[in-house]
Amino acid sequence: MTITTMEARGTVVFPENFVWGAATASYQIEGAAKEGGRGPSIWDTFSATPGKVRDGDTGEVACDHYHRYRDDVALMRELGLGAYRFSVAWPRIQPTGSGPANSAGLGFYDRLVDELLEAGITPYVTLYHWDLPQTLEDLGGWTVRDTSHRFADYAAIMHDRLGDRVSHWTTLNEPWVAAFLGYGNGVHAPGRTSAHDALRAAHHLLLGHGLAARTLRAKGAEEIMLVVNSAPVLTPAQVNDPDVAPSAADAEAVQRIHALLTRQFLDPALAGRYPEEVLSAAGRNGGTAHIRDGDLEIVNAPIDLVGVNYYNPCVVDAAPGLPADAAWPGSEGVRFAPADAPVTAMGWPIVPSGLSRLLVRLSRDYPRVGLMVTENGAAFDDVVEHGRVHDDGRLAYLEGHLRAAHAAITAGADLRGYLVWSLLDNFEWAEGYRRRFGLVHVDYATQARTLKDSALWYRSVISDNGFTWGPNKP
Ligand code: FCB
């Protein structure tokens, strides 16, 4: 999507029934880490390990959402959200990752779901957003097959409890991150650093997805989704000019990284096969013995939607001789390059056109599933001034990406909804609390919530099902 001066102002209107909402994740907001019989997760262990998380931050208190969920749902209602995507903390449900359900843990999600329904907000439940019970990690974590089966058992428990009121189920959030940052470069919990472990974890996450999807379906789940962190893979020159043709070597690098990032998960889940690039990476890093006969049929369980978490494009070019990046087994000879674009406080380049390209491509490559943007947003150094947060940078980011989402729909992408990351400022994993992604500002000393300007703008987008952009807005 190129913006010309002819288009300096305009209105976008989204399709009827387009889903508008916001997302969070259990460990990032709940706090109450030792309450209600919750067991420790790998993120409790990891964040308590000196040097792993910036400033030594942990999720022990976070946004105290466990105690304040009623107020938070009231904020969602105030914003007019149609949908709220949250995750369940597996260790609240099964403190050691297997065995009978903990009723206090179930009770919390029960009350949250009721509160949402009461407010007219549709719950989108994610079963795994990275907080694996520590006991399962001690038994091998995602590097062992048993964890996939434990995950399906836990999915069954959740559906048995919430299935009468929840129709939208997501198995995994971003298996690429869980596998390759958790077990590959060790930047995330559990902090292991082995290419072989990371590839095995990726496969067992997929196997867990397939087993859980089958279980959920058998129990009558209406809609099942897999959420991936995807991005268009571009050469540096393509960031600002999509029509630049890459050299043969750069094109090969682009294709390989696309296979490692996106096709590694969506080809098995939606077509029952691994890309060659992934099998060859596994072959060079300990082998493929963990991929057993019949696994891919399980992984290829029918699902309805792919959730896309998009923040920025992935920019690469060929760099002969470079060893593989620790988070990218199979990336030998590829350089991860900076993008010529403004950046957020995370240092992530702001390239809205990447979202339309991505959605159009995914819709073309995987035509049998619908798409939903399940995360999109930006961190900026927000400050509260006289009760307001003038987060113009975030507002512009969201506006640009919503225009890109709309352009993708116009170009034929089957996009069903858009969820902002995040409802609240929260624990941003290895970056701790310093990075603020919320529509709502959280003062961690007092737990006071303040709607940012972007939240007020988003409220009007939701109520109008679109917006007018450009100068001289009415
Ligand atoms: C995604 C995660 C989410 C949040 C955003 C910024 O990778 O799914 O929890 O941390 O990044």
Q: Match 């988003």 to its residue by tokens.
A: 458
CB 204 within 8 A of CB 148: yes
CB 430 within 8 A of CB 52: yes
Q: pLDDT value at position 1?
A: 40
Is residue 174 part of the annotated active site? The answer reads: yes
Q: pLDDT value at position 2?
A: 42
Neighbours of 291 (CB within 10 A): 20
Q: For residue 412, give the 3-state DSSP assignment.
A: coil
Helices (H), 248-323: 248-258, 264-271, 276-284, 295-299
- Residue 326 burial class via C-beta count within 10 angstroms: exposed 0-12, middle 13-18, buried 19 and up: middle
CB 279 within 8 A of CB 288: yes
Q: Above pLDDT 90, what percent of the chain? A: 97
Per the structure block, which two tokens stand in for 467?
């917006």
Q: At residue 69, what are phi and psi to the nearest 5 degrees?
A: -60, -30
Q: pLDDT value at position 181?
A: 99
CA–CA distance, 142 with 182 (Å, rounded to integer): 10
> For atom 9 of ligand 1, which residue has the closest CA?
25
Which residue, among 15, 11, 3, has the nearest Cα to 415 in the 3D structure? 15
Question: What tens digit of pLDDT does each residue of 382-411 get?
Answer: 999 999 999 999 999 999 999 999 999 999
CB 60 within 8 A of CB 38: no
CA–CA distance, 279 with 266 (Å, rounded to integer): 14
Q: Is the CB of 266 under 6 A from ligand 1?
A: no
Q: Is the CB of 382 under 6 A from ligand 1?
A: no
Q: Above 50 in pLDDT, residue 223?
A: yes
Question: What tens digit of pLDDT does each residue of 312-348 get?
Answer: 999 999 999 999 999 999 999 999 999 999 999 999 9
In ligand 1, the atom with minimum distance to the C-alpha of 437 is: 6
Question: What tens digit of pLDDT does each residue of 110-130 get?
Answer: 999 999 999 999 999 999 999
- Residue 49 burial class via C-beta count within 10 angstroms: exposed 0-12, middle 13-18, buried 19 and up: middle
In ligand 1, the atom with minimum distance to the C-alpha of 426 is: 10
> For atom 4 of ligand 1, which residue has the closest CA?
428
What is the mean predicted confidence (pLDDT) over 77-86?
99
Q: Above 90 in pLDDT, residue 4?
A: no
Element (H, E) at 420: strand 415-421
Q: What is the dihedral of CA 13, 17, 20, 25, to 10 degrees?
A: -150
Is residue 223 part of the annotated active site? The answer reads: no
* Cα–ligand 1 centroid distance for 171 (angstroms): 16
Q: Is the CB of 173 under 6 A from ligand 1?
A: yes
* Cα–ligand 1 centroid distance for 421 (angstroms): 8
Q: Is the CB of 229 under 6 A from ligand 1?
A: yes
Overall CATH class of domain 11-468: alpha beta
Q: pTM to 2 decimals?
A: 0.97
* Cα–ligand 1 centroid distance for 439 (angstroms): 14
* Cα–ligand 1 centroid distance for 414 (angstroms): 23
Per the structure block, which two tokens stand in for 361?
């491509």
pLDDT band, residue 3 (cuts 50/70/90) = very low
Q: Is the CB of 27 under 6 A from ligand 1?
A: no
> Which entry of 30, 115, 137, 174 is annotated as an active-site residue?
174
* Cα–ligand 1 centroid distance for 450 (angstroms): 21
CA–CA distance, 352 with 376 (Å, rounded to integer): 10
> Which entry of 277, 375, 399, 428 is annotated as an active-site residue?
375
Q: For residue 271, give the 3-state DSSP assignment.
A: helix
